[in-house]
Structure 1
Amino acid sequence: MSTKTKLHPRNQHREGYDFVRLVAQLPELEAFTTINPVGGTTIDFKDALAVRMLNRALLKTHYNVDFWDIPADYLCPPIPGRVDYIHYLADLLASDNNQEIPRGPHVKALDIGTGASLVYPLTGQSEYGWHFTGVDIDPAAIKSAQQICEFNKLKINLRLQKVRENIFRGAIEPHDAFHITMCNPPFHASMERANKGTERKWSNLGKEPSEKLNFGGQNAELWCPGGEIKFIASMVNQSMEFADQCLWFSSLVSKKDNLQPLHRILKKAKVSDYKVVEMAQGQKTSRFIAWTYMKKNQRLSFMNGTRN
């Protein structure tokens, strides 16, 4: 098993990757394993196919996903870090549920930008039994997500967002009620900046830019005009229209410097409460913000009122 990390206490990957168990579940993974300098088993994380095979093994072993694949050039998400977001959201919901984590399909989650990988609904449904709705503006991503659902016989709602500027509009229908919304927003402000970010990753890994690496991504996954701060600001603005249909809204925030302007944006939106939750994965620290328009007693009623 690889080195322990600082993941959430309930994260199944806290102790690292158990390659013996993973290979037993997915024998194809063995061809991609190597021995690291200290004698442990690992893979070449610069190899796109190896990373994809590792994800397939992790989802099969830990989350009961028999089939998983994504089209070429789409983001291949790191499973341990992604599922950490799910666990911390579960803690957030527990704070409005007498410190008990709500489980089961009565808990409704909305994943904005669910992507071709469908990683949040797959892991969140397996861990807590929540019912997910995934939204994306990319028809190819929705098609990939549908194939994953159909093959694994999973009940996950998928919706195509037809208007690029919309986030919640067109995604939340009049009859919907969600306990949590989540999002991993595009964080670059332009394609140029996205390319520079990719070049830095190549450089850090000692690779030439012409070589194919696992951190791919479509335009909608990597950048949007104004970058992360403008995207989340638009998210907050649109969330006001659905204040009584969603218990908590949330989004990952890649840059710590964006927290201060987001604080001002949330204050202007007159949210009832908001939180910044930090998450640690090894040397890296990430975070998400969550906001709600409901008072504490309203949140408790929302939790109780949607159990049936």
Structure 2
Amino acid sequence: MATKTMLHPRNQHREGYDFARLVAHTPELEAFTITNPVGQTTINFQDVSAVRMLNRALLKTHYNIGFWDIPDNYLCPPIPGRVDYIHYLADLLASNNNQEIPRGPKIKALDIGTGASLVYPIIGQSEYGWDFTGVDIDPAAIKSAQQICQSNQLQITLRHQNKRENIFRGVIEPHDAFHITLCNPPFHSSMEQADRGTQRKWRNLGEGDSRKLNFGGQNAELWCPGGEIKFIASMVEQSMEFADQCLWFSSLVSKKDNLRPLNKILAKAKVADFKVVEMAQGQKTSRFIAWTYIKKNQRSLYMNGTNR
């Protein structure tokens, strides 16, 4: 397939999906493959079972994950986009490390809302060897993530967030020090809004049977009171309490229009620096914001652990 040149240069999926290679590693995928109008092998991306099997094959082929599965009705993440976030975070850390990509377990990463799929820690450990802590409010998601860890002998710390209104509180412990936090926040403000968004996707695809479509997700994955802006605002507010325990905080931002109010929120928080990093995947552009309370001349020291 044609190279997806918009993906990050280190993204293993820049050249599209090599289905011959994927099927060789995961023969079960072959039953889900189809031929598109231009003669290329692909799958029906509206079929959740096909997407789940594709993810299983991608994680096995590229990231050495022998077992991967998620419970029914949980979000099935698009792997290439998730990979891009990790690579751009590595670039962000490199900017404080003499432009050298930091690798190995000395780099501590905190994944807020790690989900049943555990996809960010899997990718981050495979690509860079970082030491991940995954947090989620959903006990079933934590249980699924634990099963993935145990089946693949992954050394990933998992913590359950007990209070919905908390993000960092209760999961960052006094002895913790992280180089990066990451998050794919819920972006709807209510279940009704989430349902409307899903129905809109169904209409756009011209499909009447919603059960076949890959738009699953649990409540905590899809919506929270106040939506994305409120969630990230709470994240910024709570990050102030842990300003000296993390070099960079970050979060995906689904809507470009949300950047302006978020910039104002970060300015009020008196952060030392913040960045907006654009990521383009095919026709879709996504982005994340990152902020730090550590002054620029202290960041290289933080990377080396000499200021903690």
User: Which range, TM-score by smaller chain?
Assistant: over 0.9
**Structure 2 counterpart of 1:300, which letter?**
S
Counterpart check, 1:226 vs 2:217:
no
Shift in Å, 1:58 = 0.2
SS at match of 1:102: coil
Shift in Å, 1:212 = 3.0
Q: Name 1:137's counterpart in structure 2.
A: 137
* Distance in 2 between residues matched to 1:7 and 1:22, nearest whole Å: 20
SS at match of 2:297: helix
Q: How many residues align?
A: 308
Q: Name 1:79's counterpart in structure 2.
A: 79
Query: Per the alignment, do residues 28 and 306 of structure 1 end up closer, same or farther by CA in structure 2, a change over 3 Å counting?
Result: farther
Shift in Å, 1:307 = 11
Counterpart check, 1:200 vs 2:203:
no
Shift in Å, 1:95 = 0.1
SS at match of 1:68: coil
**Structure 1 counterpart of 2:121, which letter?**
P
Query: Alpha-carbon deviations, 1:222-255, whole Å to 9, x = none?
Result: 0000000000000000000000000000000000
Query: Per the alignment, do residues 146 and 307 of structure 1 end up closer, same or farther by CA in structure 2, a change over 3 Å counting?
Result: farther
User: Do the aligned partners of 1:44 and 1:50 also contact (CA within 8 Å) in 2?
Assistant: yes
SS at match of 2:289: strand
User: Do the aligned partners of 1:2 and 1:18 also contact (CA within 8 Å) in 2?
Assistant: no
**Aligned-residue identity in percent:** 82
**Structure 2 counterpart of 1:185, which letter?**
P
SS at match of 1:244: coil
**Structure 2 counterpart of 1:116, which letter?**
A
Q: Name 1:100's counterpart in structure 2.
A: 100
* Distance in 2 between residues matched to 1:231 and 1:305, nearest whole Å: 30
Counterpart check, 1:126 vs 2:126:
yes
Query: Per the alignment, do residues 80 and 184 of structure 1 end up closer, same or farther by CA in structure 2, a change over 3 Å counting?
Result: same
* Distance in 1 between residues matched to 2:249 and 2:33, nearest whole Å: 39
User: Do the aligned partners of 1:249 and 1:290 also contact (CA within 8 Å) in 2?
Assistant: yes
When the two chains are superposed, the root-mean-square deviation of aligned CA atoms in Å is 1.3
Counterpart check, 1:33 vs 2:38:
no
Moved runs in structure 1, 4+ residues, more than 6 A? Answer: none
Query: Alpha-carbon deviations, 1:3-26, whole Å to 9, x = none?
Result: 634100000000000000000000
Q: Could you tell me the TM-score, scaled by structure 2's length?
A: 0.98
**Map of 1:36-115 to 2, 5 A cutoff?**
36-115=36-115
User: Do the aligned partners of 2:301 and 2:307 also contact (CA within 8 Å) in 1?
Assistant: no
Q: Please, which runs of 5 or more residues in structure 2 have no aligned partner?
A: none
* Distance in 2 between residues matched to 1:190 and 1:107, nearest whole Å: 36
* Distance in 1 between residues matched to 2:21 and 2:41, nearest whole Å: 12
User: Do the aligned partners of 1:2 and 1:40 also contact (CA within 8 Å) in 2?
Assistant: no
**Structure 2 counterpart of 1:140, which letter?**
A
Q: Could you tell me the TM-score, scaled by structure 1's length?
A: 0.98
Q: Name 1:153's counterpart in structure 2.
A: 153
